[in-house]
Structure 1
Amino acid sequence: MVETAHGTVAVMTSPRELDFAEFPVPVPGPGSLVMKVSRANVCGSELHIWNGKHPVKKRGGLGHEMVGTLASIGEGRSVDNAGQMLAVGDRIVATYFQTCDRCAPCVGGQPNLCDNAYEFFGKQPDEYPHFHAAFGTHYYIHPRQHVYKVPDALPDAVAAGANCALSQVIYGIDQIGLQYGETLLVQGAGGLGLNAVAVAKERGAQVVVIDAVPTRLEQARAFGADHTIDLTQVTSVEDRVEEIKSLTAGRGPDVAVEVTGVPAAFAEGLQQIRRGGRYLVMGNLSPGATVPFDPGFVTRKALTIKHVDRYEGRYLLKALGFLTRHQEKYPFSHLVDAVFPLADVETALEKSLAREVTRAAIMMQK
């Protein structure tokens, strides 16, 4: 294999320990692409991994929410997944997972649950083609990853969040069937939660947001939240249930979405939702943490609980369209409130973990 130039990858050697490695930038194989990463965001999933909470990944590359420019194109790959012609220098986004189209979930109509989704994302950086994650100067895109050109109207700061947070939220809200005129409770005002507020408002929903960080609640209001509740001010679950009932004609919200990653939030959500309501759970990703669960209580309330893992690749195109239409209406460009160079990835992760920043971005050095 002919290789040119070198690139840098941030490598977690163990939870909360980071190093950097340098590798030759590979020439893409048939159907593949190489992206030069411009910007990558710190998502909640990275924090689970960084903090040692991921069930499998304890070392390796980090980062998956990114935007960049097309550096090289493999043989036989001329268009993106929307049929648009590709050329070196195009700005692109890609799913961080693949859809293999051959496993039982893919063949059975559940491509978001592809058994081989992380076949490449899970590889260690020392394994060719090295650039398996977003916190690095380059990223290798395999043939069955969805790739889309970024519209000229979208700046990198806005487009970078499309391939995880916004795609995930649009997919999840589609799965739970949020309707016009319903009330949505959003548990957590991080990146996923703020995106959920915007998507819900565009669907004609009333939105209530719960969080413990005042700056996050301020952002939630900027994204259109009708009501916000500060966990540090309304400290008991019982009081929060009563307050939310007072905002929803005494019933509770029609739908709730959990994007906190905190197991106790799941237990609270079951109490918050009205009888016959629906619950979308996307934030709790780390198996092993448990909370008391009363199946009889859930049955008597006739709740529908939907857990969603990943999204279908085509939703990345939907996310780009949503951003293009609504970037002036909602402050997507301010979702990231701290930017760090690649050399300071560890600082970005630690500050994000401590909730000193709402959402951090890594800018790659040229």
Structure 2
Amino acid sequence: MSTGHSTAGQIATLVGPATAELQEYDVPAPGAGAVVLKIRRANVCGTDVHQWHYESAALRDSGLGHEFVGEILALGDGVTTDFAGQPVSVGDRVVPVYFLTCHRCPPCLRGEFNLCQNGLAEWKIKPEVSPHFRSGFATHYYLFPGQYFYKVPDEVDDETVAGANCGLAQMLFVIDQVGIEPGETLVIQGAGGLGLYAAAVAHERGARVIAIDGVPERLALAEEFGASETISLADYPESADRVARVQELTGGLGADMVLEVTGVPASFVEAIDIARTGGRIASVGNLNAEAEVTMIPGILTRKSVHVHGVLRYHPPYLHKAIAFLARRQHAHPFHAFADRSYPLVEVTAALKAGESRSVARVAIVP
């Protein structure tokens, strides 16, 4: 790419609540230390649906999408390797960490890189501002200097790796942060993309996995990703019924760890009831800062439950995610995550399909 105006690209931009439009801009040449990608495949994550509904105050009037795999279109001066030291060149497939780490803010100075105060500093800028392509539902993506990215090995295909830079990396990080031991029981609330990744990770580590969801196809996939038991919302429609079922499956003890990835506020209260005395809860799916629930705080105290809210992941976990896929891609049907694909021009239809929760992930292929 010799000039900044030789190619035009498109990006899906949020212009109002549940309102996205495609905007067209010239694809810039990368500055020193930057990389320009051609997006090959992007997934619709639950977070994208929340953003689409204006539930993220920081990401209004910005581009949409963050879980994707791209192909290097142009390298800026000084970029010769990825962040694992692997040589890169034009045409290589890579996955980027979708947020930034400034290494200067208080969280970064504490080593809490997943909480960087400037993580969304570029993504939240309107696409009309150069270099325009800061999100994944687009034809191109601009990797900024210092933004982590990792090369994808040839043996891992696009369908398998597209979710590495959000779902899988985050679940590896969550399970490391909260901890799961061989023989322990993990109950996963929500068998979407995050839940299925978590099942695969916990299964590899020797844990027993129980998945809860309301979509039969997701529950069937959960079994293929390592769940030994599933609980259907159709069979157990009330929270008390699901709690009782978990008690039955665990000999009256409850779960050692509960992972909430539903995005449904009431599921947090249910997680407290599902966890055993002294158990652990990882709250990941609930991002809406305005949704409220009613609960009895004393239950937390009496059960001595440890609650962990976990946002994003440390950047090197993306490298771990790619290695996990290379190691385990034949153990589970990762390619089946996004069994429905849409062209970029149908981004609204893709978001609606993602919102329906009828499949684990919906894909957008520019």
Q: Name the TM tier (shorter chain).
A: over 0.9
Alignment match, 1:167: 169
Structure 1 residues 107-143: Cα deviation after superposition (integer angstroms, max 9, x where no partner): 1111111111111111111011000111111000011
Deviation of residue 51 (structure 1)?
Answer: 2.1
Alignment match, 1:361: 363
Alignment match, 2:206: 204
Deviation of residue 93 (structure 1)?
Answer: 0.6
User: Aligned partner of 1:9: which letter?
Assistant: I
CA distance in 2, matches of 1:18, 1:295: 40
CA distance in 1, matches of 2:184, 2:37: 41
- Give SS of 2:26's match: strand
Identify which of 319, 327, 330 aligns with 2:329. 327
- Give SS of 2:129's match: coil
| TM-score of the pair, normalised by structure 2 | 0.97
- Give SS of 1:38's match: strand
* 1:221 aligns to 2:223 (yes or no): yes
Tell whether the 8 Å contact from 1:267 to 1:293 is kept in structure 2 after alignment. yes
Alignment match, 1:70: 72
Alignment match, 1:139: 141
Deviation of residue 4 (structure 1)?
Answer: 2.2
Unpaired segments ≥5 residues, structure 2: none
Structure 1 residues 225-260: Cα deviation after superposition (integer angstroms, max 9, x where no partner): 111001121122222111111111210010000000
- Give SS of 1:153's match: coil
Bigger drift between 303-312 and 227-236 goes to 227-236
CA distance in 1, matches of 2:185, 2:357: 27
Unpaired segments ≥5 residues, structure 1: none
User: Aligned partner of 2:215: which letter?
Assistant: V
CA distance in 1, matches of 2:4, 2:362: 35
Structure 1 residues 305-331: Cα deviation after superposition (integer angstroms, max 9, x where no partner): 000011011000000000000000011
Alignment match, 1:277: 279
- Give SS of 2:246's match: helix
* RMSD over equivalenced CA pairs, Å: 1.1
Alignment match, 1:49: 51
Alignment match, 2:8: 6
After superposition, residues 225-236 of structure 1 pair within 5 angstroms as: 225-236=227-238
* 1:32 aligns to 2:39 (yes or no): no
Tell whether the 8 Å contact from 1:97 to 1:118 is kept in structure 2 after alignment. yes
Tell whether the 8 Å contact from 1:253 to 1:272 is kept in structure 2 after alignment. yes
- Give SS of 2:91's match: coil
Tell whether the 8 Å contact from 2:100 to 2:147 is kept in structure 1 after alignment. yes
The percentage of counterpart residues that share the same residue type is 46
Bigger drift between 170-179 and 13-22 goes to 13-22
Tell whether the 8 Å contact from 2:29 to 2:36 is kept in structure 1 after alignment. yes
Deviation of residue 7 (structure 1)?
Answer: 0.7
Tell whether the 8 Å contact from 1:15 to 1:59 is kept in structure 2 after alignment. no
Structure 1 residues 292-312: Cα deviation after superposition (integer angstroms, max 9, x where no partner): 132211011001000001101
CA distance in 2, matches of 1:306, 1:158: 28
After superposition, residues 183-198 of structure 1 pair within 5 angstroms as: 183-198=185-200
- Give SS of 2:170's match: helix
Q: How many residues in Structure 1 have an aligned counterpart in Structure 2?
A: 364
Tell whether the 8 Å contact from 2:258 to 2:275 is kept in structure 1 after alignment. yes
User: Aligned partner of 1:245: which letter?
Assistant: Q
Alignment match, 1:118: 120
User: Aligned partner of 1:11: which letter?
Assistant: T
Deviation of residue 222 (structure 1)?
Answer: 1.4
Tell whether the 8 Å contact from 2:168 to 2:194 is kept in structure 1 after alignment. yes
Structure 1 residues 63-88: Cα deviation after superposition (integer angstroms, max 9, x where no partner): 00010110011111111100011111
CA distance in 2, matches of 1:143, 1:207: 40
CA distance in 2, matches of 1:356, 1:52: 22
